Structure 1
């Protein structure tokens, strides 16, 4: 790392991420070209996402650095903030309707959705939301084919803090606020509780199976606290299905 590079820490799945001035540089991946194209399309549709800046002189993927603080460090978010987050996700999804999705079966998705029909971020969570003068979702490396339901299920569960130890009634209110902000119709709202349970279980299964096969970084994450977190979250989301259904009715 050279003198003007500042290492960025905090992520779990990305290596060699650095900041240089107002840019973020990270290794160029198989899907980086498609992700940069996706970001360009979203910006053209009026969505505030990091500006894609192509490859640098070392072949690294380069995007705009976003100033601010992580939402993760300011949880729980209040209702007005959750309404805003819901609107942001809806804007991304609506704009994504105009983005061509080529050969969805060829993408190597970490947690694939059934019958993908929409380009999505796939990790719209508090650890990827910067709040400052602008509110912007960052870390689009996992973007690819998914569905509104699968993407929203993860966002609703994570921003709602549907995790073990959280008062269920409070979690239900946060869930309702984010979904209200999104403006989900009756069909999407009805499908969401089951999708949240399935999406949470899929995350735990990924960590568990990666630990068994030695696939990194998920194998280490399984034993350093993430495995237990997602195991208990899976049970929490599943056993409170009736509460989530009532909140979204």
Structure 2
């Protein structure tokens, strides 16, 4: 079923409040929980730019502000990267994309944003402890995919790398790693 839903992409809207971030974390959790009942056919073919470390459930794999429509109704769009992954790998990407994408932001404020987002997801203590290192791994994986695609001339990633996405993900990776202990404490 397709439906037109009016709204604005979150990346183009006013910054999300902590209550909004909590809401988005809950949306990610609801997507993951709904996906647990789906069993793909044995001959399913998945196309994903960044392979996940395991196959726990089918995830969106790009739950980020550029794929969240906000307005009267909030919904994630652009499901072309959906593929088997893990809750942790998908959550790490979305938590980083929504709260730790601006390396110029005061890390203590970013930590509060991260806490609001993750609290909305309601992970267990084990997942909370793993999240900072997984965010670093996932952010580095994004940069490495863009870099390798640039080197190989694989589009659209090659052009994205030179159009600023490479620099963005390199800076984001450094920011996520530099403040790892602050993220862990916030969670």
TM-score scaled by length of structure 1? 0.72
SS at match of 1:165: coil
Which residue pairs with 1:235 in the alignment? 174
Aligned position for 1:86: 25
Counterpart of 2:153 (choices 214, 220, 233) is: 214
| Consecutive unaligned residues in structure 1, runs of 5 or more | 1-51, 53-62
Match of 2:127 in 1: 188
Structure 2 stretches lacking a partner, 5+ long: none
> Secondary structure in 1 aligned to 2:142?
helix
What's the RMSD between the two structures over aligned residues?
A: 1.5
**1:204/1:186 Cα in 2 relative to 1: closer, same or farther (>3 Å)?**
same
Question: Are the structure 2 counterparts of residues 231 and 103 from structure 1 closer, same or farther at C-alpha, using a change threshold of 3 Å?
Answer: farther
Match of 2:3 among 53, 64, 76: 64
What are the residue-to-residue correspondences of 1:26-175 with 2, within 5 Å?
52=1, 63-103=2-42, 106-175=45-114
Q: Call closer, same or farther: CA 1:95–1:104 in 2, change over 3 Å.
A: farther
**Bigger relative contact order, structure 1 or 2, given CA contacts below 8 A and separation 6+?**
2
Looking at structure 2, the residues matched to 150 and 124 of structure 1 have their Cα atoms a distance apart, in angstroms, of 11
Kindly indicate which of the two structures has a greater share of residues assigned to strand.
1
**Cα separation, partners in 2 of 1:102 and 1:187, compared to 1, 3 Å:** farther
Secondary structure of the 2:69 match is strand
- Structure 2 vs 1, CA of residues 141 and 108 (structure 1 numbering), >3 Å: closer, same or farther? closer
CA contact under 8 A between 2:100 and 2:172: conserved in structure 1?
Answer: no
Q: Is the 8 A contact 2:139 2:172 kept in 1?
A: yes
- Does the 8 Å contact 1:124/1:137 carry over to 2? yes
- How far apart in 1 are the matches of 2:81 and 2:175? 26
Give yes or no for contact 1:104–1:116 (8 Å, CA) kept in 2: no
Normalised TM-score (structure 2): 0.95
- Equivalent residues, number: 187
Tell me the distance in 2 between the aligned counterparts of 1:160 and 1:94: 22
The separation in 2 between residues aligned to 1:178 and 1:104, in whole angstroms, is 35
Work out which of the two has the higher radius of gyration on C-alpha atoms and give 1 or 2: 1
Provide Cα deviations, 1:176-220, integer angstroms capped at 9, x if missing partner. Answer: 000000111101111110110000000000110011000001001
Tell me by how many angstroms 1:110 deviates: 1.1
d(CA) in 2 for partners of 1:92 and 1:178?
Answer: 15
Segments of 4+ moved more than 6 angstroms: none
Kindly state the Cα deviation for residue 107 of structure 1 after the two structures are TM-superposed: 2.3
